Amino acid sequence: MTSYRLSQGGLIDRARPLSFSFDGKPMSGFAGDSLASALLANGQRLMGRSFKYHRPRGVLTAGAAEPNALMTIGKGGRTEPNTRATLQELYDGLTARSQNRWPSLDFDIGALNGLLSPFLSAGFYYKTFMWPAAFWEKLYEPFIRKAAGLGEAAKESDPDSFEKCWAHCDLLVIGAGATGLAAALTAGRAGARVILVDEQAELGGSLLSETATIGGVPAAQFAREATAELEALPNVRTLARTTAFGRYDGNVFGAVERVQKHVATPQVGRPVERLWRIVAGRALLATGAEERPLVFGGNDIPGVMMAGAARSYLNRTAVAPARQMAIFTTNDSGYALARDLEACGVALTAIIDSRPEGAAPGLYKGQARILTDALVRDAHGGKSLSAITIARQGRTETLRLDGLAVSGGFSPVIHLACHRGDKPVWSDAQGAFLAEDRKGLALAGAAAGLSGLAACYEAGARKAVALLDQLGIAATAGSVPTVEGDIVAPATKPLWSIPGIRGKAFIDFQNDVHRADLALAVREGYAHVELAKRYTTNGMATDQGKLSNVNAIGLLAEARGVSPAEVGTTTFRPFYTPVSFGALAGSSHGKHFQPVRQSPLHGWAKKNGARFVETGLWYRSAWFPRTGETTWRESVDREVRTVREAAGLCDVSMLGKIEITGKDAALFLDRVYCNGFANLPVGKARYGLMLREDGFIYDDGTTSRLAEDRFFMTTTTAYAAGVLNHLEFCAQALWPELDVRLASVTDQWAQMAIAGPLARTILQEIVDEDISNEAFPFLGARAVSLFNGALKGRLFRISFSGELAYELAVPAGYGESVADALMEIGKPKGLCAYGVEALSVLRIEKGHVTHNEINGTVVPADLGFGRMVSAKKADFIGKHMLAREGLTAGNRHQLVGVVPLDPAASFRTGAHILAKGAAATLENSLGHVSSSCYSPHVGSTIGLALVRAGSSRHGEEVMIWNGLRGEYTPGRLCDPVFIDPENAKLKI
Amino acid sequence: MRYSALSILKNGLFGNKGWKPAWRTPAPKPHYDVVIVGGGGHGLATAYYLAKEFGITNVAVVEKGYVGSGNVGRNTTIIRSNYLLQGNNPFYELSMKLWEGLEQDFNFNAMVSQRGVLNLYHSDAQRDAYTRRGNAMRLHGVDADLLDREAVRAILPFLDFDNARFPIQGGLLQKRGGTVRHDAVAWGYARGADLRGVDILQNCEVTGIRQSQGRVLGVETTRGFIGCNKLALAAAGNSSRVAEMAGLKLPMESHVLQAFVSEGLKPFIDGVVTFGAGHFYVSQSDKGGLVFGGDIDGYNSYAQRGNLATVEHVAEAGKAMIPALSRIRVLRSWGGVMDMSMDGSPIIDRTPIDNLYLNAGWCYGGFKATPASGFCFAHLIARDLPQTTASAFRLDRFERGYLLDEKGQGAQPNLH
Amino acid sequence: MASLIACPHCGRRPKEEFTVKGAALARPEPQAGADAWFDHVYLRDNPRGPYQEFWHHTSGCRRWLVVTRDTATHEVEEARDAALWNRETAR
Amino acid sequence: MSMTLRHHPVLGGKAALRLKDVTLEALPEGHVLQLLAAAPEAGPGLRERIGDSDLRPLAPGQWLLIGNAPLTPEDLTGLEERLKPVADIVDQSHGRVRIALSGPAARAVLAKGTAVNLDAAAFPVGHAAQTLIGHIGAHLARTGEDSFELTVLRGFAESLWDDLAQMAAEFA
Ligand SMILES: Cc1cc2nc3c(=O)[nH]c(=O)nc-3n(C[C@H](O)[C@H](O)[C@H](O)COP(=O)(O)OP(=O)(O)OC[C@H]3O[C@@H](n4cnc5c(N)ncnc54)[C@H](O)[C@@H]3O)c2cc1C
Ligand SMILES: NC(=O)c1ccc[n+]([C@@H]2O[C@H](COP(=O)([O-])OP(=O)(O)OC[C@H]3O[C@@H](n4cnc5c(N)ncnc54)[C@H](O)[C@@H]3O)[C@@H](O)[C@H]2O)c1
Ligand SMILES: Cc1cc2nc3c(=O)[nH]c(=O)nc-3n(C[C@H](O)[C@H](O)[C@H](O)COP(=O)(O)O)c2cc1C
Ligand SMILES: [Zn+2]
């Protein structure tokens, strides 16, 4: 055991012990521990295996950048692979498993890859595995795929819930360290609406790991007091456990709150994660700085750790990372750790300071040996650090120890400032990339390159004042509380390469990118920072290069002999840390993926035994099986026959319905339909074709004139929303001078088709007015009184089925009752309910088209509607593109009917049409079957098809080709109207 | 330098010091026979085939960024030839055939991996549309299978079959579809072209097109004027901007499409699956990340980055299709700018300017086309005749009314 | 952009509430001729920079807007009612 | 034929959901009239013509006139007459359904659905907006400090109710 729990100190709650397990081993920790600190406290320093070489790895950081200590936690549908042990709070019963090792973490066969590493250099796979060609998919790739990846995801669904939320504020503060707290306090006290987010379990940032005092109290206590004050302000919202993951246009930030990721069993009714979309007037990044590792041999051996992380484990969770430590630093911050280690009684062998001049005089008062102008060249050990080799003034020295803390300087955390494309700027003075303040967003504190608690506090307050000032909100910065015991670490010159390294010196720990890989990338011409990234995979692991990118840039700069400024960074992109699908999806999945839209006749259909089918957001009644009917076809055939012989009732409420009023309504319709509407008499309906501006048919439907200045339009179900948008476009953007007003009334009316020879007889029983053929002829449309004046409805004499038919619209709330009444009246006469399946058969028999035929590539003439296109009108939408050669050519696909030669044979929609005897090639395809069904009327399968020059091919024998199903049906093209071509039935 | 297991072994033994640059970094020559604008997949493939198949080697590819900085380096790597229309299908099948021999051809492992592309359907109408499509494929000799629900379940038991808002009814499978390692395609073609004498000029942005008497003389670039006998545009999302330098206005808009990758996982899903009830498609890279995407953001953009609303839509559809995605974390999102043409299909054609050639309008589907696009564009440039499978990709088809509109959405690019 | 569009009638609303149609172009006169119509329906300037396009506040006031937006930065400069645009600019 | 006609309120079967900090209830299906003026900028004179009914802005030149009592056809024709020529009426009494949401957590519940800033300063009592609540469009009106009314398309009413109930669950 090397790491261990200190007997006192820390912010953990020793009164609340928690038990958990790692790789099945029971362990214990305390409330306030992270999984990583608890593992360390249990002496478990080996926490994972690397991606490629399966190197043993321990925890390197105490935060979001952790590349090594990734584990799988949870069980079943709650399994979470690749969880950062550093950010996972410990809870009672937590189960954690290590990843990417076999058979065990301790003994991992994959580690043999390390021996092959000369042959597994960056990009080696692009150069081999090509022969024999067939081996790639059979052998090489499956092997590579098995080896790749880290954790294993569960295949079960998640039992917990997720949600989303919007929030608005004047000032969003991201990061709740000294800087962020100062900003939030300043803005909050001024009455501004503030949101303060921090990814940690508790607000305070590095204050929670700090031993300095602020305003006379320990830093952590100061943070807690500040938090309490903020939480008491009604205009401030504090969100701990919340990571701002992305900055989007309009200063909208995405953030994810881990609401219940720190509990064993989430409470039902509350989400486990919540996605916040924060609309920020102004935002302040107080996200701190990331400490940079140093690139020496064996820098990945468990026991090597970032100095700041070591401080955090020591001070915040009272864990000593090792028994015998050394510190390798390029700056003064290492001395803060030295002081704290000694205060905690951890042996400190040496401080290896790369600077010739060492630390500022008087900064360090401890006992450790100080080696200036010295470098750690190599670390040694297998699964645990055992020694380091130091190079100093040409000599080397080996120190035996079990812990090494490193600090290679700091990289401000500027990700969010760069998500909208802003490029960071290299600062030689800071030895780091900095982001500039932009409209809507500023950076402060360590995120802006500052060091020192007092300076950060002051900057946070000052920037908050400035940002609020831009919004016209007055605030004052107040005075900075006195800070004592802070070791301020001014920026120092970065140390990129260390000479004489023997072992592997890692840059990207998780992806196992080491120094030689970068050198190879440069040698092979992949020296551009983006190419080097892609060729070596540096920065592409789950930590997205938080620790590795700047070191890689520094090394590339050295190799290319240019400055880091010239190399530049790769692109910062969301997500700052990875975000779950669950959080991004919220509650929209499973049955709740999309809302349900319900017809007012849904209840009626259900009572009548309907089978439903999803159509867009609607559930439509598809057919109504009766006892004894075993297949859907039996029911549909019966429904079709009943309509043709007696009558049927069908729910057509989901057709789009648009009310059009205003004195120019008729003129407007004349412009949006290709056929004429201005002359439509009051009381009449007309079928209309609506084109797109490019001349192709957009939608069809009937429109009725209810009054001089009032029309009622129906659209297809699928295009209802689109047609209204389109009409509004025409009315508002094209012809605002017209007085035309549009309202969707789809939901206002329950609409039912009553079709069949007995339709009138049945309907007349509830309609007060005379609806005889004379009084109410085909295409009549009028308001009617129902049930002796009890209700007002609208009646349209239109027919999709080819039978005598009506569509009756009644106020939706009465729909079910009216349908019930009609069923009751009609039943003795043979009336049945019919669904969309029968509706479809009826319309195919009649040769009526739907969006199967109106597929966005047909013009009116293709469907036999050529004569509907008004030649008289000077203008209508689509008129001006119709004359193009390709739209008038004789060999266009045109609507035809198709039947099998053998009535017993059948075919399906989607089959292609080939000329009889033609070879089965795509060039020979004449078209396809767009709709098909079994027609009880014809006594065989029938279809509608779009076939080249189809209208002149009636009678031609063809092959109906469906290779996909192995069905090849000889057939004949014919007129698309299979029933009552003279339309006699419509007019009785 | 030939790549092989042996070369790896040899170099590995000597500290990997012997490798040479994959392509040279030449200075621009004053004049080339052909200058290709755009060092993406299409531009590089065009150069490669010009040199290899048509013997034209005095060629430069000018690229404003680094090789592969455009869409070839940011797409979701899906290849398939499941097209519907006669003007499209044979071309994409040609491309598939070229993929099938590509790596041996250019001696670079691009990980062409035919693990299958499955398009799910959730309604009879979708099934019928896939039947039509599958039959078009079959008629051209392309593999296609229509699977029912149980057959889909057998391959992908963890899709949401039981609690879905739009239950899965089946799917259209192209077994020969799959994925290819995107960057390797750019690098492989670059290396192959370079070996045959093509100059690849990175960090060289075309800023103007010099013309005289209706002919192009050459291009102004950030590295000076470069003359040419023929100028070929393959600038993907920036086609309108480059064409404008020659005074042409194109039937297209630039739109952003986002893509995503999850944290690395042990094998989770083998082939490519697309959701039919929303915008989502996913595959798993050989490195272990789930690579996925959805619909375009829907507004004109040159920004290479997208919107949170689209991110959410994609995740919603993803979890609706695969509930087990819930706890999987998304690592990174990015965007690419594509030219969305007015009918959703590409253009490979001459232009009204005599020696100016255009390859554009690939929308979100041009990666799979890379080999055939390069080959056919090279054919057109070298012979001044369209290659047969690409003969429908004409620039004047909009004006003449011969559209190639697979979706039937009409002249509104963001609907394709 | 955009995450948010400032609808002149409703205030700032998220992209989800809108439908985008594309370039805000004035419709040619009926007799404008084939070239003008072809240009209108099929050809686009597609600039990198400020751009005017039609957005419909579908889930809000249902007004069509003409939004001036930079296609490189996604910065929205202005959003005005399309009827107003039509009266003042389009003719 | 004489029949007893029954009106089926779409949320008729839903008992009010009373949680600790929020209450959700279906309002009576009275009347909802969509008023459409000829031009967006029209509207003056509206108030005088309709008396003190609850008039809520919907869009430029459009309002919803809302009340708990159903209107007879005669009432409707009367109103139509009175409003001419300022505005046309489209009856949406059956096409729109109202849900009330109240209690100290009402705002927090709605914030899970809508991007409209519900801060009292930005959205005071009497304000109304057509917006998306999650995936469903609805008209949102603030009727009190802690109370709101949602008017939604009939077909979506049940889905919206379910969503609201789910969004409210944590305030039980
Ligand atoms: C997110 C996303 C996912 C996609 N997924 C798929 C998929 O799964 N399958 C599929 O088949 N397709 C897909 N695509 C589409 C595919 O990526 C593109 O169609 C294809 O890559 C375009 O061809 P290209 O490779 O030549 O383009 P690019 O790689 O974009 O090449 C064009 C090059 O031109 C350069 N250039 C531009 N202007 C200039 C100038 N003035 N001077 C010099 N150089 C210039 C650019 O820098 C760029 O490098 C996707 C696209 C995106 C954005
Ligand atoms: N020279 C330097 O640059 C430097 C280096 C190291 C430490 N310091 C010291 O660190 C302190 C700086 O305080 P500070 O307040 O600026 O930083 P801090 O590190 O104390 O706080 C930053 C906080 O932001 C959180 N955070 C980062 N990104 C986030 C995101 N996307 N979403 C949510 N939370 C996020 C972090 O978890 C952390 O809690 C001072 O004491 C300073 O001296 C300075
Ligand atoms: C198929 C594919 C897989 C990718 N996998 C990863 C990955 O594992 N890790 C990563 O950080 N980025 C990955 N990326 C994204 C790239 O890092 C990068 O974001 C993308 O190529 C766009 O470039 P840009 O972000 O530099 O603009 C992947 C990209 C593609 C196209
Ligand atoms: Zn609006």
Same domain membership, residue B388 and residue B357: yes
Dmax over CA atoms of chain B, in Å, equals 67
Tell me the mean pLDDT in the region B302-318.
97
Cα A404 to Cα A537: distance, rounded to the nearest angstrom: 27
Instruction: Pull the structure tokens for residue A348.
Output: 């400190």
Radius of gyration of chain C (CA): 14
Same domain membership, residue A255 and residue A271: yes
Cβ proximity of A187 and A181 under 8 Å? no
Considering the domain boundaries, does residue A737 fall inside one? yes
Cβ proximity of A283 and A247 under 8 Å? yes
Pick the atom of ligand 2 nearest to A255's CA: 32
pLDDT for the residue numbered D3: 67
Ligand 3 centre from B331 Cα, in Å?
Answer: 9
* CA angle at A862 for the pair A856 and A866, rounded to the nearest 5°: 115
Same domain membership, residue B226 and residue B209: yes
Same domain membership, residue A466 and residue A611: no
Cβ proximity of A646 and A803 under 8 Å? no
The pLDDT confidence band at residue D42, using thresholds 50, 70 and 90, is low
Tell me, rounded to whole angstroms, the distance of Cα B124 from its chain centroid: 30
Q: Verify cis geometry, omega within 30 degrees of 0, for the bond prior to A903.
A: no
DSSP string, B95-153: HHHHHHHHHHHHT-----B---EEEEE-SHHHHHHHHHHHHHHHHTT---EEEEHHHHH
pLDDT for the residue numbered D44: 63
Q: Which domain holds residue B375?
A: 28-78+182-252+343-415
CATH of the domain at A650: 3.30.1360.120
Tens-digit pLDDT profile for residues B337-381: 999 999 999 999 999 999 999 999 999 999 999 999 999 999 999
pLDDT for the residue numbered D38: 79
Closest ligand to residue A548's CA: 3
Q: CA torsion, points A217, A220, A224, A225, in degrees to nearest 10?
A: 20
Same domain membership, residue A833 and residue A970: no
Cα A190 to Cα A233: distance, rounded to the nearest angstrom: 10
Strands (DSSP E) found in A382-458: 385-392, 395-400, 403-407, 410-412, 425-427, 432-434, 441-443
The pLDDT confidence band at residue D41, using thresholds 50, 70 and 90, is low
pLDDT for the residue numbered B140: 98
Considering the domain boundaries, does residue B231 fall inside one? yes
Cα D159 to Cα C45: distance, rounded to the nearest angstrom: 43
Handedness of CA A689, A693, A696, A699 (dihedral sign): negative
Pick the atom of ligand 3 nearest to A571's CA: 26
State which residues of chain A have pLDDT below 50.
none
* CA angle at A729 for the pair C35 and A850, rounded to the nearest 5°: 85
Closest-CA residue, ligand 1 atom 41, reads B206
Tens-digit pLDDT profile for residues A412-459: 999 999 999 999 999 999 999 999 999 899 999 999 999 999 999 999
Q: What is the identity of the amino acid at C49?
A: G
Tell me, rounded to whole angstroms, the distance of Cα A760 from its chain centroid: 53
Task: Check pLDDT > 90 for residue C91.
Answer: no
Q: How near does any CA of chain B get to the CA of C36, in Å?
A: 11
Same domain membership, residue A626 and residue A612: yes
pLDDT for the residue numbered D84: 87
Q: Which residues line ligand 2 (CB under 6 A)?
A: A 63, 174-180, 197-200, 205-206, 243-244, 286-289, 333, 410, 413, 416, 445-447, 449, 451-453, 456, 489, 491, 576
Closest ligand to residue A489's CA: 2
Return phi, psi of residue B227, to 5°.
Answer: -85, 160
| Element containing residue A186 per DSSP (H, E) | helix A178-189
Q: Which domain holds residue C12?
A: 4-88
CATH code reported for the domain at D17-28+95-171:
3.30.1360.120
Cβ proximity of B73 and A534 under 8 Å? yes
Cβ proximity of B294 and B279 under 8 Å? yes
Considering the domain boundaries, does residue A210 fall inside one? yes
Closest ligand to residue C79's CA: 4
pLDDT for the residue numbered C1: 47
Contact residues on chain C for B296, CB-CB shorter than 8 A = none
- How many CB atoms neighbour CB B360 within 10 A? 29
Tell me, rounded to whole angstroms, the distance of Cα A50 from its chain centroid: 28
CATH of the domain at B137: 3.30.9.10
CATH of the domain at B200: 3.50.50.60
Cα A661 to Cα D88: distance, rounded to the nearest angstrom: 7
Residue to probe by mutation, ligand 2, list A456, A487, A488, most atoms within 8 Å of CB:
A456
Considering the domain boundaries, does residue B102 fall inside one? no
Q: How near does any CA of chain D get to the CA of C43, in Å?
A: 32
pLDDT for the residue numbered B265: 97
Cβ proximity of D113 and A707 under 8 Å? no
Same domain membership, residue A978 and residue A941: yes
How many domains, chain B?
2
Same domain membership, residue A673 and residue A733: yes
Contact residues on chain A for C81, CB-CB shorter than 8 A = 732
Tell me the mean pLDDT in the region B288-314.
97
Instruction: Pull the structure tokens for residue A46.
Output: 């080996």
Same domain membership, residue A936 and residue A812: no
Q: What is the β-pairing status of strands D62-67 and D54-59?
A: antiparallel
Cα A526 to Cα A467: distance, rounded to the nearest angstrom: 42
Phi-psi region of B141 (alpha: psi -120 to 50; beta: other; left: phi over 0): left
Same domain membership, residue A276 and residue A190: yes
Contact residues on chain B for C71, CB-CB shorter than 8 A = 254, 300-303
Residue to probe by mutation, ligand 2, list A198, A209, A276, most atoms within 8 Å of CB:
A198
Same domain membership, residue B216 and residue B153: no
Cα A893 to Cα A902: distance, rounded to the nearest angstrom: 25
Ligand 2 centre from A330 Cα, in Å?
Answer: 19
**Based on the number of CB atoms within 10 Å of its own CB, is A317 exposed (0-12), middle (13-18) or buried (19 or more)?**
buried
Same domain membership, residue A166 and residue A275: yes
Residue C54 at interface with chain A, using a CB cutoff of 8 Å = yes
CATH of the domain at C52: 3.30.2270.10
Return the residue matching tokens 């006594």. Answer: A939
Considering the domain boundaries, does residue A469 fall inside one? yes
| Element containing residue C76 per DSSP (H, E) | strand C76-81
Q: Is the pTM of this model over 0.95?
A: yes
Cα A420 to Cα B176: distance, rounded to the nearest angstrom: 38
* CA angle at A349 for the pair A345 and A350, rounded to the nearest 5°: 120
Q: How near does any CA of chain C get to the CA of A732, in Å?
A: 5
Which one of A154, A887, A923 has the shortest CB-CB distance to B86? Answer: A923
Cβ proximity of B237 and B338 under 8 Å? yes
How many domains, chain A?
4
Instruction: Pull the structure tokens for residue A914.
Output: 């080939």
Strands (DSSP E) found in B180-328: 199-201, 206-212, 215-221, 224-233, 252-262, 272-274, 281-284, 290-293
- How many CB atoms neighbour CB B381 within 10 A? 26
Of A718, A710, A610, A688, nearest to A870 by C-alpha is A688
Which one of C15, C48, C71 has the shortest CB-CB distance to B309? Answer: C15
Q: What is the identity of the amino acid at C19?
A: T
Q: How near does any CA of chain D get to the CA of C73, in Å?
A: 23
Q: Which residues contact D74 (CB under 8 A, 6 or more apart)?
A: none
Dmax over CA atoms of chain D, in Å, equals 57
Task: Check pLDDT > 90 for residue B232.
Answer: yes
DSSP string, A653-696: TTSEEEEEESTTHHHHHHHHBSS--TTPPTTBEEEEEEE-TTSS
Classified as helix, coil or strand, B265 is: strand
Instruction: Pull the structure tokens for residue A691.
Output: 């084109």
Radius of gyration of chain A (CA): 38
Q: CA torsion, points A351, A352, A353, A357, in degrees to nearest 10?
A: 80
Q: Which residues contact A209 (CB under 8 A, 6 or more apart)?
A: A62, A308, A311, A312, A314, A315, A316
Same domain membership, residue A774 and residue A681: no
Boundary of a domain, candidates A441, A469, A484: A484
How many domains, chain C?
1
Same domain membership, residue A771 and residue A638: yes
Considering the domain boundaries, does residue B307 fall inside one? yes
The pLDDT confidence band at residue D43, using thresholds 50, 70 and 90, is low
Return the residue matching tokens 């899970």. Answer: D112
Cα A978 to Cα A932: distance, rounded to the nearest angstrom: 12
DSSP string, A474-499: -----PPPPEES-------------T
Cβ proximity of A267 and A225 under 8 Å? no
Chosen from A267, A597, A620 to mutate, greatest number of chain D CBs within 10 A: A597
Tell me the mean pLDDT in the region B50-74.
98
Cα D71 to Cα D32: distance, rounded to the nearest angstrom: 9
Q: Where are the alpha helices (DSSP H) in A730-783?
A: 759-764
Return phi, psi of residue A951, to 5°.
Answer: -65, -20
Closest-CA residue, ligand 3 atom 20, reads B74
- How many CB atoms neighbour CB A393 within 10 A? 9
Cβ proximity of A959 and A972 under 8 Å? no
**Based on the number of CB atoms within 10 Å of its own CB, is A392 exposed (0-12), middle (13-18) or buried (19 or more)?**
middle
Task: Check pLDDT > 70 for residue D40.
Answer: no
Ligand 4 centre from D105 Cα, in Å?
Answer: 27
Q: Which domain holds residue A949?
A: 890-987
